[in-house]
Structure 1
Amino acid sequence: MRIYGPNGTTLGSPAGSARRTSSSGFALPDTIASPETRSVAAPKAAGNIDALLAMQGIEDPVERRKRSVARGRGALDVLDDLKIGLLAGNFDASTVTRLRDAAANLKSTSGDPGLDAVLSEIELRVEVELAKAGQF
């Protein structure tokens, strides 16, 4: 395979075609034929990649619902840990930190109005417990 272009082999003129003059000055060689010009095509747009990235950005409603249910269960587990700690007389600061993290995770919506209502009630309860703990 032969490659023509700036980094490959090029068709050049013979080396002996330089014109000699009688003067001792500098002279450029005569070029009989101009070098072959090739049109340079712009790179093709990456439309296929853009479409693929757009498709990956579309979230499956079932997966979004599963993640929302998992976040709600996690928040309820932290609330249970807080209740057990308070009943046992062991108020743990790490539980409050976990409550803050759970409250931050409950902000996103699932797309299901019923599930979103339950998650907002769980979020409200978490915020109430954080206010009681003086950490809100």
Structure 2
Amino acid sequence: MRIYGPNGATPATSQPGARRPSSSTFSLPNLSEAAGSRPMAAPVGVASIDALLALQGVEDATERRKRAVKRGNEALDVLDELKLGLLSGSLTPATVQRLRVVAAGLKANSGDSGLDQVLAEIELRVEVELAKAGNS
């Protein structure tokens, strides 16, 4: 990179009589001629926005696994609440309703066969408890 000017590697060649004549009026360049010389281009970025939205819809295996683990933990927590409610004699219909909601979330596939097997066992236990609570 070369630097031109008074402090640069090559001295600037300036001639004392090379000044532009100053005019007292200010004028803008003709914008219609400048705009007419260039063709208008379509805005770039619409395709990239579509690509970003499509990528947001794609989930990777780790996200599916995280959500499956979270659903399994929630199901186990509600089963613990059910157990405590049965032992204390204060089982509420809200706990049974939460168990139904959690059971519906356990049906999704996580992509990990070991985790899916554990979730299937949790789901079976939830269904058994729901069946017992429905007969009571």
2:54 aligned with 1:54, yes or no? yes
Q: Which runs of 5+ in 2 are unaligned?
A: 1-29, 33-38
Secondary structure of 2:134's match? Answer: coil
Q: Give 1:40 shift.
A: 8.9
Q: Which runs of 5+ in 1 are unaligned?
A: 4-38
Q: How does 1:1-136 map to 2 (within 5 A)?
A: 2=31, 46-134=46-134
CA deviations 1:103-131 (Å, max 9, x no partner) are 01111111101101110111111111111
CA deviations 1:83-120 (Å, max 9, x no partner) are 11101111211100110111011111111011011101
Distance 1:66 1:96 in 2: 25
Distance 2:88 2:127 in 1: 22
Q: Give the counterpart letter for 1:63 in structure 2.
A: E
Secondary structure of 2:75's match? Answer: helix
Q: Give the counterpart letter for 2:127 in structure 1.
A: E
Distance 1:60 1:44 in 2: 28
Distance 1:49 1:43 in 2: 12
Distance 2:51 2:94 in 1: 44
96-105 or 57-66, which deviates more: 57-66
Counterpart for residue 7 of structure 1: none
Tell me how large the CA RMSD over aligned residues is. Answer: 2.6
Higher helix share: 2
Tell me the matched-pair count: 102
Identity of aligned residues (%): 64
Q: TM-score, normalised by structure 2?
A: 0.64
69-78 or 52-61, which deviates more: 52-61
Structure 1 stretches of 4+ with a deviation exceeding 6 A read: 39-45
Q: TM-score, normalised by structure 1?
A: 0.64
Q: Give 1:42 shift.
A: 7.5
